[in-house]
A and B are shown apart, each in its own frame.
Chain A
Amino acid sequence: DSGVTQTPKHLITATGQRVTLRCSPRSGDLSVYWYQQSLDQGLQFLIQYYNGEERAKGNILERFSAQQFPDLHSELNLSSLELGDSALYFCASSADLYSYNEQFFGPGTRLTVL
């Protein structure tokens, strides 16, 4: 158990809909990262938050947004969903600002868009 929790575990929705994925980092970790894993694209870095502020952006679509709250939990919002958004979404956390140090991954949310 990494100490990172993600909800829900599974999400099935329809195209055009909006969903929110939630992540609670390990106790004491200030950075939260979001990743998307799909069969054709592999594991893609989406975005990083550190202590409530956005620190780095990767291949995140404009239809996606994220935030980190004062209690350090984070939410990833996916809107106008398309079939291609079906993937595993992982949250990870780390103690400090730099992503080149060890990250602790949650169990993931499997999103299926029908």
Chain B
Amino acid sequence: SQQGEEDPQALSIQEGENATMNCSYKTSINNLQWYRQNSGRGLVHLILIRSNEREKHSGRLRVTLDTSKKSSSLLITASRAADTASYFCATANTGGFKTIFGAGTRLFVKA
């Protein structure tokens, strides 16, 4: 089964609203990453949060990590139509190999 599981599977919001996506994982990790994928294109790295960090910001992105619950959330504030994409969390085991991606959250931002 997959290491990372995102929810919701799909999210539809209006431009200007905030979007929150969640990710759960199963084993100990070194860090957790979030990637974005525009339809049928390559993934783009958004942000990395280390296992000893609880929160990280990058522009309109805010990521939290709760290692006790083995979960992370990605918040996109003041969303734009250009944020429409699929968002994936990715983890690797503590050995540092075999990155596992979750199934992704499909975000649709209506203009």
Residues 70-96 of A at the B interface (beta carbon under 8 Å) = 88, 90, 92
- The count of chain A contact residues (Cβ–Cβ below 8 Å) is 27
Task: Give Cα distance in the complex from A101 to B29, angstroms.
Answer: 12
B42-A48 in contact (CB<8A):
no
How many residues on B have C-beta within 8 angstroms of the other chain's C-beta atoms? Answer: 25
A100 & B40 in contact (Cβ 8 Å cutoff): no
State whether A42 and B104 are in contact (beta carbons under 8 Å apart), knowing that A98-B96, A100-B92 are contacts in the complex. yes
Residues of B within 8 A of A (CB): 2, 29-31, 33, 35, 40-45, 48, 88, 91-92, 96-104
Q: Other than the known A43-B43, A108-B41, what 10 A-B pairs have Cβ atoms closer than 8 Å?
A: A2-B44, A42-B2, A43-B101, A45-B101, A48-B97, A48-B98, A99-B92, A100-B33, A100-B92, A105-B35
